[in-house]
Structure 1
Amino acid sequence: MPKISNKGKLMPASPIRKLTPYADQAKQQGKKVYHLNIGQPDIETPHVMLDAIKNIDFKVWAYTQSEGNLSYRKKLVEYYNRANYNISVEDILVTTGASEAIIIAMQTCLDSGDEVIIPEPFYANYNAFAWMSNVTVKPVLSLIENGFALPPISEFEKLITEKTKAIFICNPNNPTGYLYSYEEMVELKNLCLKHDLYLFADEAYREFCYDGSKFYSPMHFDGLEDHVVVFDSISKRYSACGARLGCFITKNRQVIQTALKFAQARLSPGMVAQIAAEAAVDTPQSYFDRVNKEYTERRDMLVAALNKMEGVYCPNPGGAFYVVARFPVDDSEAFCQWMLEEFSHDNQTVMMAPAAGFYSTPGAGRDEIRLAYVLNKEDLNNAMICLDKALKEYPGRKMIGSKESVVAH
């Protein structure tokens, strides 16, 4: 029998989907499973997108340009320039989701064996994309005690070597929901200029900032034009995860021209998704206002409920629609699996994502869990009732007051 490649054997599995077989088994047993494990919003996709698909009128489902339809890129320029990005159509490459944009960037900007520094916890698939690109991730630890703020720049400096080529942030952050401040972005700008590094910025959650907080992109800072590569997606902004459409933005001409060669090798992004996304740029602001209000209420409900549970600590995030909370459990993966295999309350249970999978440092995040507040408030409340009861029954619960479970609030 032919062998599987070593790369394939070592390719990291998704911690977000790892427990899916247990959830499927729970459903087969008749349990209702509240999915807080994955960032799949239940918010309705804007009607303008769906109408654009319903009204499609073409006779040949053809290739598009490798860089994306010109008409769509022109609409994207409108969107980004309303947000003060000051870009042109030549600065945008349309991709099959932000995932492809990140993979293309890693292969464009980094050689095999080069290193990228990423604050952890981080979106688990960054590890997978780096592995596919023969790039080494160097994690710099952010802490739950200060809400997962940007680690001190001195910690980044310790990791920089001749192999370091990029700093990579997600803002607002998946999985923590942290929103980087103006001061933190200035620190990152100065660091990248000092060491001549790329600054990769995943901005898929740009629209989700709460409590009047302002979003800052590295595209807003002068002097970084040749350093910044932005990744974006329509998945979260328009609740259109299945469209699989994103983009890659940079003002660095050499980078965009090189990235286009990788884009040409995969031919083109999908035509129908671009038609829908082009229409989506005209989504009224009222849609985003309603969505923001809904997510703010969900966040407030979730954070309050978690912090009322004995031994649980959850920071209040400024963006995205995730939290990472610390639980009084021996091992969060074992707890999340137990929730699906062994526990039910009124024939209901909860699926969550163990946070260890969002860390690159071995052993980090073992008592932390990511929860996505993507369900309506009634379901979210029921999920919190289940979770509270589960924690009281879990046989691997830590004793409250033990050194491991104490967190500074």
Structure 2
Amino acid sequence: MARNLTAQRSIVDADSPFTFLQQRLRYVDACPDRTFINVAENVPCWPSPFPDGVLHAEDTLAYGPCEGSAFLLRAIEARERAVNKISPNPEEILVSNGALHGLSLVIRALAQPGSVALVQAPVYICIPQMLRAAGFRVRYFSAAAGLGELESLLGEDTRLIYVNSPNNPTGQVLSSAQMARLAELAASRGAKLLADVVYDSFAKPGVDRGSPLANREAWPHVYTVNSMSKNYGSPGLRVGWVLSSAENVRMLSALLERECVCVSGPSQRLAASILEHGNAALVDHVESGRRLLSEALRQVPGVVCEPGVGGTQLFASLPVEDIEAYGDTVLRELGLLLATCSQYEGVSGPFIRLPLGAPRDTLSRALKLLAESLAIYGHASPRI
């Protein structure tokens, strides 16, 4: 029988400049003598060691081109042909310091104070924060039932449409027809479509995952942003890339040069090596995690989860009153670090995000602690 004890907020502070997740990570860092089970991050982990790349001295001792090194541009071009069936030219690719940097470059290049950005919800919290900082007014739409809600919100003041497919955290995937329609709507209203596709390697077999760049005529109105972090399990490289028309990329390249000159040469060299190696093992690992975690969560009383068809995480609703109090309590009492709903805007409820690509032993221990903690702090009756 559940004991129904009350969880307490004791770690996160709404007035802190850091996200709740970052505050909990800082709590973990401040307790080096404790053992924690971290399932807060959704970066998939390689199931076996990855071969070392080769560092070249010239990458370290000289600046590179602001748009990216030629060898990495070639590797990205080959990757996009294989994965998305598109063929960008080198001048249509910009290498950035990770996806968030790429998104920030696009958002600031397009900013017009007071204009509207229509944002697919739910959305990672940093995106609307960047949009507001650039002067956009943010309005949310759901694509769960199609694009009707988006179309009803489009107005003369719409400057930007942001989508994330596969979506973090729901795993929703926009189809080829939906992506084509989004590009068409953006062009018809003089707006730009910004598609965040950092999980585009991860979709269940047979799922129609569209690219807004499938039609060459759409490129002047569309930006896609990708990265090595999620698709290739290498967030430490801080390497991402933006695809758009050559004119749009030139504008972004100039902005990048003013800010940071170029992206790290050694990181670009390693990124090219990983792209050439491919991520098939990582994709298989995540897909097996989707099956494993979906089945395991069905056995935990009170947990509600509708697994998406893409992405590297599941979004699960827990039987608790205050998800942030629960998150603080299980971290403090049990050493279980979770990513809660506070990491997103455009959604509310007692949600946590669980990573499909985490090491299997870590997931197993986390699921055990999750079930134990809900028996204490949850309000669902255990299944017989």
Relative to the length of structure 2, the TM-score reads 0.87
Partner of 1:34 in structure 2?
A: 37
Q: Matched residues, percent identical? A: 22
8 Å Cα contact 1:46/1:280 also seen in 2: no
C-alpha distance 151-205 of structure 1, shift in aligned 2 (>3 A): same
Partner of 2:280 in structure 1?
A: 289
8 Å Cα contact 2:156/2:189 also seen in 1: no
C-alpha distance 27-71 of structure 1, shift in aligned 2 (>3 A): closer
Separation of aligned partners in 2, 1:10 and 1:257: 39
- Shift, 1:166, TM fit: 1.4
Partner of 2:164 in structure 1?
A: 170
Q: Tell me, which stretches of 5 or more residues in structure 2 are unaligned?
A: 1-13
C-alpha distance 182-59 of structure 1, shift in aligned 2 (>3 A): closer
8 Å Cα contact 2:294/2:307 also seen in 1: yes
C-alpha distance 45-91 of structure 1, shift in aligned 2 (>3 A): farther
Partner of 1:78 in structure 2?
A: 78
Partner of 2:300 in structure 1?
A: 309
| Higher alpha-carbon deviation: 163-172 or 35-44 | 35-44
- Shift, 1:398, TM fit: 4.0
C-alpha distance 198-382 of structure 1, shift in aligned 2 (>3 A): same
Partner of 2:69 in structure 1?
A: 69
Q: Please provide the CA RMSD for this pair.
A: 2.6
- Shift, 1:230, TM fit: 0.7
Amino acid of the structure 2 residue aligned with 1:164: T
8 Å Cα contact 1:177/1:318 also seen in 2: yes
- Shift, 1:74, TM fit: 2.3
- Of 356, 359, 369, which aligns to 2:345? 359
| Higher alpha-carbon deviation: 155-164 or 98-107 | 155-164
- Shift, 1:292, TM fit: 2.1
Partner of 1:329 in structure 2?
A: 320
C-alpha distance 59-280 of structure 1, shift in aligned 2 (>3 A): closer
Separation of aligned partners in 1, 2:147 and 2:16: 30
- Where 1:242 maps in the other structure, the secondary structure is helix
Partner of 2:128 in structure 1?
A: 127
Q: CA deviation digits over 1:180-219, x for unaligned, max 9?
A: 2234324423432432321111111111122342432111
- Of 255, 259, 262, which aligns to 2:252? 259
8 Å Cα contact 2:59/2:265 also seen in 1: no
8 Å Cα contact 1:22/1:337 also seen in 2: no
Separation of aligned partners in 2, 1:269 and 1:281: 17
C-alpha distance 20-216 of structure 1, shift in aligned 2 (>3 A): same
Separation of aligned partners in 2, 1:249 and 1:215: 17
- Shift, 1:159, TM fit: 2.7
Q: Superposed, which structure 2 residues align to 1:204-283 within 5 Å?
A: 204-251=198-245, 253-266=246-259, 267-283=261-277
- Where 1:268 maps in the other structure, the secondary structure is coil
Separation of aligned partners in 1, 2:146 and 2:232: 34
- Where 2:276 maps in the other structure, the secondary structure is coil
Separation of aligned partners in 2, 1:15 and 1:92: 34
- Shift, 1:222, TM fit: 4.9
- Where 2:305 maps in the other structure, the secondary structure is coil
Partner of 1:4 in structure 2?
A: none
- Where 1:176 maps in the other structure, the secondary structure is coil
8 Å Cα contact 2:225/2:242 also seen in 1: yes
Separation of aligned partners in 2, 1:368 and 1:352: 10
Partner of 1:5 in structure 2?
A: none
8 Å Cα contact 2:38/2:362 also seen in 1: no
Q: CA deviation digits over 1:141-182, x for unaligned, max 9?
A: x4xxxxxx5354232133323321111111111122222223
- Shift, 1:46, TM fit: 7.4
- Where 1:58 maps in the other structure, the secondary structure is helix
Partner of 2:332 in structure 1?
A: 341
Q: Tell me, which stretches of 5 or more residues in structure 1 are unaligned?
A: 1-8, 143-148, 402-409
Higher relative contact order structure (alpha carbons within 8 Å, sequence separation ≥ 6): 2
8 Å Cα contact 1:103/1:133 also seen in 2: no
Separation of aligned partners in 1, 2:307 and 2:379: 23
Partner of 1:17 in structure 2?
A: 22
Q: Superposed, which structure 2 residues align to 1:388-403 within 5 Å?
A: 388-394=371-377, 397-398=378-379
C-alpha distance 398-161 of structure 1, shift in aligned 2 (>3 A): farther
Amino acid of the structure 1 residue aligned with 2:42: G
| Higher alpha-carbon deviation: 271-280 or 33-42 | 33-42
8 Å Cα contact 2:39/2:362 also seen in 1: no
- Of 51, 54, 70, which aligns to 2:53? 51
- Shift, 1:323, TM fit: 1.0
8 Å Cα contact 2:42/2:358 also seen in 1: no
